[in-house]
Amino acid sequence: MKYGLLYHYWGNKWSCDYVETAKKIRAAGFDVMEIGADHLHDMDRKDIDTIRGTVEELGLNLSTNIGPTKDYDLASPDASVRKAGVIYIKELMEKMNAIGSKALAGAMYSYWPCDFTYVNKEEAWDNSIAGMKEVAKAAEEYDIVCSLEVLNRFETYILTDCREGLEYLERIGSDHVKLLLDTFHMSIEEDNIPDAIRLAGKNLGHLHLGEGNRKLPGLGSMPWKEIGQALRDIDYQEMAVIEPFMRMGGEIGSAIHVWRDLTDGASEAEMDEKLLTTLRFLKANFE
């Protein structure tokens, strides 16, 4: 298993200096930096080469976190929006290939966050699946694995539990399209988190880790020991990326609805220390 961290940990904006962040993530002992799809999509060749050079030197892998805007919704009733969505993801994959990222993870099957103005689920599934089949072909060409994130009911209506995710995958039928399970979303929707991981089995392509209140693993009541057992049961070898949201304010605090400080007033040094602690904690429970 390769342990990772989403890029935003030290800030509360949907942006960062990826070279500096890569160094900090590596220094904290992680194997993977998860970057933002929109950033990569808009990056020029020079920035891509610089970041690729840095992560190769550090021995860091890259995963790409996607939550398309509504203009790129593959499940939209509007055919021109669906077409724009497929083009966006294909352009993104070209950049992923250039930067050396083989893992695309998130709600690429629709958009995020959902505003629930259109919720015809059957029609949305048909549209989304048609688009994802086109995306799957491109993924196979680039040898990129698309891991579709199962979210909770407040953020999507398309895929809200593992069983539903597996039904969707069956209709795609590509070994380059898998599921992303996130312990935070699972804590809301699944009957039993370890059982959902076992149900996903070899279809689990990516994992997001966090407590039910999105704190770092080990700071809440998530059954980490049992989750570790489930991951060993399915022989999970892919990326496990921590996706904590603990800071109030800024773009992220507002988008994620962080309405109190979940860091316990931690200083920068204490935030770094918390990362070392959480990684030790995860390895103790998972290995």
Catalytic residue IDs: 149, 243
- Packing angle, helices 121-142 and 162-172, rounded to 10: 60
**Beta strand ranges found along the chain (DSSP E):** 2-6, 32-36, 61-66, 103-106, 145-149, 177-182, 204-209, 239-242
Kindly tell me which of 105 and 129 has the beta carbon lying closer to Mn ion. Answer: 105
Q: Which range binds Mn ion by CB under 5 A, 24-32, 187-195, 205-213, 215-223?
A: 205-213
Helices 193-200 and 162-172 cross at an angle (nearest 10°) of 10
Please report how close the Cβ of residue 149 comes to Mn ion at its closest, in angstroms.
6
Contact positions with Mn ion (CB under 5 A) in 87-126: none
Three-state secondary structure string covering 262-284: CCCCCCHHHHHHHHHHHHHHHHH
Residue 211 sits in the site that holds Mn ion (CB under 5 A): no
Query: Residues for the chain: how many in total?
Result: 287
Closest to Mn ion by CB, 6 or 81: 6
Neighbour-count burial of 191, counting CB atoms closer than 10 A to its CB (0-12 exposed, 13-18 middle, 19+ buried):
exposed
Question: Residues binding Mn ion: what is the number (CB under 5 A)?
Answer: 3
Cis peptide before 244 (omega within 30 of 0): no
Binding to Mn ion by CB under 5 A, coded x per residue (else -) over 158-197, reads ------------------------x---------------
To Mn ion, the closest distance from the beta carbon of 32 in angstroms equals 14
Quote the least distance from Cβ 175 to Mn ion, whole Å: 22
Which C-beta is closer to Mn ion: that of 33 or that of 81?
Answer: 33
Nearer to Mn ion, 81 or 279 (CB): 279
Which one, 82 or 112, has the nearer CB to Mn ion? Answer: 112
> To the nearest whole angstrom, how small is the minimum distance from the Cβ of residue 141 to Mn ion?
26
Both tokens of 271, joined, read: 């935030």
Question: How many Å separate Cα 11 from the centre of its chain?
Answer: 18
Asked if 243 contacts 182 with a C-beta cutoff of 8 angstroms, the reply is: yes
Partners of residue 240 on adjacent β-strands: 3, 207
Q: Pick from 208, 214, 247, 274: which binds Mn ion (CB under 5 A)?
A: 208
The nearest distance, CB 260 to Mn ion, in angstroms, is: 21
Site string for Mn ion, 226-255 (x = CB under 5 A): -----------------x------------
> Contacts with Mn ion in 142-161 (CB under 5 A)?
none
Site of interaction with Mn ion (CB under 5 A): 182, 208, 243
